[in-house]
Amino acid sequence: MPQLSPKDRALLHLYDSRSHLTERPSEALTQQGIATALEVNRTHITRVMKPLVDAGLVEVGKGRLEGGDRKMSYYLLTPTGLLRAKELIDSLGDEELELVEGGRKVRRKVRDVLTAHPYLRSLEVMDSIGGVLRPQAPGKRLILADVELRTDGFFGREEQLAVAKEFLSSPSQILAIYANHGYGSSTFLRKLAVDLFDGAVLWLDLSKSQGPSSLEHGLERFSASLGVEPGIDGLNSERALICLDNYREMSEAMVDFLTELVPRLRGGRCKMAVSMREETPSYERFYLRPEVVSGEVIEIRLHRFDEATARRFLGEELDDEAFQLIYMLTRGQPLALDMVRRGDAEGLKSIRLSEEVRFLMYLRTRRDRSRKSN
């Protein structure tokens, strides 16, 4: 089985992203995008890309990315680099892999797979040589969830999003997302699963869990859907993400199950992300401090919205004094701000005094007339 070098894999990734040569560049062309595609840490990308630039295969550009305002550096194939990528693909055309078609595995040559499935990324196909490939139609991927996953209305958290993106391309296995009630750990986890990650996802709401048996059953269903051997050992061969939401007040049996699961993820492609309460005691955590220090586990902590994010969230037309009072009364808590924005008085009464709720419902109606007239 041929072993592609990181430089060759980078060329193939840029070849797959060549549609952006005549459009506004996408994040796929940045160091972080390349790191995610190659499944390596972003700190290694400069070492990979510099020889390609020096050889005239890749050039560096700078500009605003698709959907962004900030200028960033990105990489593009030169005509010579494009030719080199095509030659690389042609040279591997007779290599074989197993393709899952109609629920069964069949052996196919690389060139036949690329012809039959033109939407597949060449890097994905080359990485599957000697292994198994399960093609998915464009815009479709396996998301096995016990709830509806939506990410509309996500605001802020730029710093934490950068850490999450780094996690997805790093060797780290676990992402722990900590927040107090109402500060958006579940929302952040959904953002990670739906928008930041593009592989297969298993989503389990642990508040509905019946203990380790339900989690084990979920892992078996997930592996069966992917066509791999049951459990975490089979999932480790796949680029997959296990998302566990609402991890709080867990039984000793569940903590023990997850504690035993963590080391089994080492060295595999499968990762796990968990939304947790900030007040989770140490004896309910399924990993130890040394695993954080070593980088096996990454921790993210979510706090209140800053004023700029809260202002965008509530709308710029809100009167300045009304905004400041709302921000003070809600303490920047995303859940409370969302209820104010939607006018959900009943929901607010579950977390705020009735007198405060009535005042907040009044404040949300105050508009800055000068902003409106402009």
Task: Tell me the two tokens of residue 350.
Answer: 């579950």
Please give the single-letter amino acid code of residue 185: S
Task: Tell me the two tokens of residue 66.
Answer: 């698709």
Question: Which letter, b or e, does each residue of 67-78 get, where b requires 16 or more Cβ atoms within 10 Å of its Cβ?
Answer: eeeeebebbbbb
Q: What is the pLDDT of residue 23?
A: 57
Task: Tell me the two tokens of residue 362.
Answer: 């009044």
**What is the average pLDDT score of the chain?**
86
Task: Tell me the two tokens of residue 306.
Answer: 């800053």
Quick: pLDDT tens for 332-345: 999 999 999 999 99
DSSP string, 315-338: -TTB-HHHHHHHHHHHTT-HHHHH
Of 15-29, 136-150, 221-235, 265-279, where does the model show the most confidence?
Answer: 265-279
Return the CATH fold of 143-301.
Rossmann fold (3.40.50)
Which of the four pLDDT bands, split at 50, 70 and 90, describes residue 68? low
For the chain, the structural domain boundaries read 1-91, 92-138, 143-301, 307-373
pLDDT over threshold 60, residue 373: no
Q: Write the DSSP symbol of residue 20.
A: G
d(CA 169, CA 35): 6
Return the CATH fold of 1-91.
Arc Repressor Mutant, subunit A (1.10.10)
Which of the four pLDDT bands, split at 50, 70 and 90, describes residue 225? confident
pLDDT over threshold 70, residue 141: no
